[in-house]
Amino acid sequence: MTNLTEPRVAKWPFILGDLVLVGAAVALGMTYRANLLARPELLALFFGALAAGAGCLVTPWILELRAAVRLGESADLKAAADQWQLAGELATRIAQATAQWQGVQEQAGQTTTAAREIAARMAAETKSFTEFMRQLDDGEKQRLRMELEKLKRGEGEWIQAIVRLLDHTFLLHQAAVRSGKPGIAEQIGIFQSACRDQVRRVGVNHFEPEPGEPFDANRHQVRDGQPGPEAGAIIAEALAPGYTFQGQLLRPAVVRLAELQELAAEG
């Protein structure tokens, strides 16, 4: 805001006029001192000169006072105008801030809506992914179950094949022993032992009961068509070895039980 300078009135002309008027009044009084009271026009002129001199003397201070008052009013008006302008600027800034706040609120609302949409999509994607993983897990379990069943079937098939091969080697060795040719029986016995050693590495083991060994229904069985063993039955010979796979019984050994005549002869 611009500072207004208080006006100054030159006082010397007014002082000079005052001196002239007062001097004129004094000169008039001195000249017509005897007739001054008797002549009203001279008396009026005398007091008029004095009054004019007094008025001339105080006029510059009155002018300065009026100018100061007007200056103060101008300053107040300017201050009011500045305040009004400042209020206008403040109102403009408030309007701008309000508009910006409304924009921020709109942006916040849009951001909140977008966040909710993103959260909803994430929840849907998570649910879809979880369902996909569950289905994949179920499918994988089903596939692994089928593969396991296939492996078990394959395992059972090759175990049966091994048992048949071992049975054939056992029968071949028995036939060689009964042929009365020790060399052939020995060679086939070596072959049979090699086969048994190989299958033992995968968990297939054989066992052959010895003649005179008590019959054990958990490990031995009689050939089809023979009567069931009685209590205290004794094994006469092994017709086919028994087999176990990893400690579990695959097939009991097939045996022939000793008859009473054989027991009596041994006794």
If we measure between CA atoms, which residue out of 30, 9, 11, 31 comes closest to residue 19?
11
Can you give the pLDDT of all 267 residues of the chain as single tens digits?
455 566 666 767 767 766 776 777 677 667 766 666 666 776 677 677 677 767 766 777 777 777 777 777 777 777 777 778 887 788 888 888 888 888 878 888 888 888 888 888 888 888 888 888 887 777 777 878 888 888 878 778 888 888 888 888 888 888 888 888 888 889 989 998 999 899 888 889 989 899 889 998 889 988 876 777 777 888 888 889 999 998 889 889 999 888 755 555 555
- The backbone torsions φ and ψ at residue 234, rounded to the nearest 5 degrees and listed phi first, read -120, 145
DSSP 29-44: HHHTTTTTTT-HHHHH
Q: Report domain extents, the chain.
A: 12-106, 203-260
Strand 235-240 to 253-257 pairing: antiparallel
In the numeric block, which tokens belong to residue 1?
A: 């805001």
Nearest of 231, 250, 232, 230 to residue 241 by alpha carbon: 250
pTM for this predicted structure: 0.45
Give the CA angle between residues 108, 109, 114 to the nearest 5°. Answer: 95
- Given CATH 3.40.1170.60, say whether it is the number of domain 203-260: no
Express each pLDDT in 4-16 by its tens digit: 566 666 767 767 7
**What are the backbone dihedrals phi and psi of residue 220, each rounded to the nearest 5 degrees, phi first?**
-125, 155
Question: Is 229 within 8 Å of 217 (Cβ atoms)?
Answer: yes
* Those residues with Cβ within 8 angstroms of residue 39's Cβ, 6 or more apart along the chain or in another chain: 32
- List beta partners, residue 222: 255
